[in-house]
Structure 1
Amino acid sequence: MPAARSPADAPLFIVLNTGSGSQDAGHTREVIERLLGEAGRRHRVLPVQDGRRLPAVAWQAVQEARMQQGIVVAAGGDGTINAVAQAVLGSGLPFGVLPQGTFNYFSREYGIPADTESAVQLLLNGRLRSVQVGRVNDRIFLVNASLGLYPVLLENREDWKRQFGRSRVVALWAGVVTLLRGHRRMTLEMEHAGRLRTLHTSTLFVGNNRLQLEQTGLDGADALDQGRLAALALRPTGRLAMLWLLARGAFGRLGAADEVQSFSFSSLRLSVLRRGRRRSRIKVATDGEVSWMRAPIEFRALPDALSLIVPDDETA
């Protein structure tokens, strides 16, 4: 529930990823600065051309905002928003979002408009709401985290986007091609709720976004309101069956498939076994960004971790 109005005179420190989405970054910055200037709101735009510098620039924005009791804003896609939120977490600072990505699941979940002008107006007039984030090892995720097939799909999708542009159609076809190439199966040794279980799967997907779960027809959206994360695993199956699952997800019916196992948790610890031995490093995707993590992998829900600027009308 909304808790308080966003500070009306706090300066805004905006981390702008100039490589996110299909919009012209120069025009986006011009719109931001014009609207904030007209409103008489103090602000500073920190542009980032190289995505590898996002964490450093986000940390700089947090330090400056701390000194001036300001607000940190992420302008970009879900990956950019994740990087800035990682720096904001634990600082006690308000967090704002100007969506610039392809899917914008995080911003859409909380009614933040995709139109830059409307999103800037929200920064000026919105309210603060505490929202949950997920954490896997030392990284957070706002939308989802995964291991197995899904990180491979994301890497292939980025290759396709570099060649054919950023769009949902390109993302879909990248998924189809990935599934046709085949995939490895994993054996997971998982510990949660005081129980140890072994799971054979091609991918483990952990969701923290109601909108994404509902659009694909997955169970577990209600668990997010209880301070938990929603997980699903795909039982090992063939390529044609995987394509059928992709189609079911596109039509919002993935949760009803027999090949899908779902459960929820507040914390989960796992290892990946290969040929009877535990792997020391595992490839994990967080909000579309893929990285290697040391095993064992630990997931945890962090309720009320961020103070997000959202629309004054909670039905937005």
Structure 2
Amino acid sequence: MPRLRERLPRAVVHELAEGDDVSALVDAALASSTPPRVLGIYGGDGSVGTLAHVARRVGLPLLVFPGGTFNHFAKAADITSLDIAIDALVAGTGRAVDVGELTFTTGEPITLLNTASIGIYPAFVAEREKHEKRLGKGLAAVVAAVRIVRRSDPIEIEIDGRTARVWSIFIGIGRYYPVTVAPIERRRLDDGLLDVRILYANGQPRTRGAVALALGGKADAFAARLPFLQGPPAVEAFTAGDLRVASSDAGGRDPGYAHDGEASLRTPGDQHDDGRRLSIRIIRAGLQVYSPADRPRG
């Protein structure tokens, strides 16, 4: 990366290879005669999230260079180029941002920067993005929702003690916009809340699920007035400081989960009588990040 070496000639740069243990690399650097005072990462949301977890563990600030296909966290922090990130470092400007901690029945918690989800949400987003350039976001969402709901099955879950049959659960670190099942942006990194969107499937036609997934709660409310689609609201949205979810599918099916652009077909941890469990909590000001001087936030 010539531009990085040009502007930060004293930076120690390591190009990650497949199989590299980021945590071990940082520990080795900290044990050297010239330990780093800042950890930087060039990559997308998955790579940024991995180093953010290590930065929290070792108590160092994070410098993010947007270099992935999707750079949702960098965008939310107003870091849209390598030069903007370096300017923030040189100026010493930054902020403390909220993060989430995703915990399973076993293993170390995972640091969340953007979102986590269970069910069909990750597949819907991937399908929508395939068609956005050709169809635009609105029509792409409709096409994706119909295709994903048609070939998927709802899952049985228990969320904060309530049982339900759902298509998906979306959890955002901070409030996301617009108010739909699949929001796309946030305006603050420090509002101290989890943004939860649940798409229910309790006894409702698949069409209701597709409408709500593509167009949100207002469209679902309209659909509920139609004789062949009547039923309770398909979408629930609320904020919380923490959330506990257990998948309890009768067939023992593991719905998997996704976080910050990384998807898994298997939820870590052991199967319990009440299903595979995970919990998420907000950590206020859990990470220090270099970013441009604060601008007014909506």
Q: TM-score range by the shorter chain?
A: 0.7 to 0.9
Identity rate, percent: 26
Cα separation, partners in 2 of 1:47 and 1:256, compared to 1, 3 Å? farther
The answer to whether 1:44 aligns with 2:9 is no
TM score, norm. by length of structure 1:
0.69
- The 2-side partners of 1:119 and 1:225 are apart by 19
Cα separation, partners in 2 of 1:124 and 1:253, compared to 1, 3 Å? farther
Residue number in structure 2 paired with 1:108: 75
Residue number in structure 2 paired with 1:179: 148
- The 2-side partners of 1:199 and 1:227 are apart by 27
Cα separation, partners in 2 of 1:270 and 1:105, compared to 1, 3 Å? same
- The 1-side partners of 2:88 and 2:282 are apart by 27
- Deviation of the 1:43 alpha carbon: 0.6
Residue number in structure 2 paired with 1:130: 96
Note the alpha carbon deviations across 1:271-290, whole angstroms, 9 max, x for none.
11122x7x595511010101
- Report if the CA contact (8 A) 1:151-1:283 is conserved: no
Aligned length: 262
The answer to whether 1:304 aligns with 2:275 is no
- The 1-side partners of 2:31 and 2:150 are apart by 48
- The 1-side partners of 2:188 and 2:71 are apart by 21
TM score, norm. by length of structure 2:
0.73
- The 2-side partners of 1:82 and 1:282 are apart by 22
Report which of the two has the higher share of strand.
1
**Structure 1: any 5+ residue segments left out of the alignment?**
1-28
- The 2-side partners of 1:72 and 1:304 are apart by 17
- Report if the CA contact (8 A) 2:97-2:285 is conserved: yes
- The 1-side partners of 2:219 and 2:56 are apart by 32
Residue type of the alignment partner of 1:274: D
Residue type of the alignment partner of 2:169: L
- Deviation of the 1:32 alpha carbon: 1.0
The answer to whether 1:260 aligns with 2:255 is no
Matches within 5 A, 1:280-299: 282-291=255-264, 292-293=266-267, 294=269, 295-299=276-280
Cα separation, partners in 2 of 1:224 and 1:266, compared to 1, 3 Å? farther
Residue number in structure 1 paired with 2:60: 93
Residue type of the alignment partner of 2:74: S
Cα separation, partners in 2 of 1:300 and 1:313, compared to 1, 3 Å? closer
Query: Which SS does the other structure have where 1:47 is aligned?
Result: coil
Cα separation, partners in 2 of 1:231 and 1:59, compared to 1, 3 Å? farther
Residue number in structure 1 paired with 2:4: 32
- Deviation of the 1:127 alpha carbon: 1.7
Query: Which SS does the other structure have where 1:44 is aligned?
Result: coil
2:215 to 248, 261, 264: 248
The answer to whether 1:227 aligns with 2:196 is no
Matches within 5 A, 1:211-222: 213-215=176-178
Residue type of the alignment partner of 2:116: A
Note the alpha carbon deviations across 1:201-259, whole angstroms, 9 max, x for none.
1001100144xx1245579x79975522111111225554444445436xx97898843
- Deviation of the 1:177 alpha carbon: 7.4
**Structure 2: any 5+ residue segments left out of the alignment?**
104-108, 223-232, 270-275
- Give the aligned CA root-mean-square deviation in angstroms: 3.6
Residue number in structure 2 paired with 1:145: 116
- The 1-side partners of 2:254 and 2:172 are apart by 22
- The 2-side partners of 1:284 and 1:74 are apart by 25
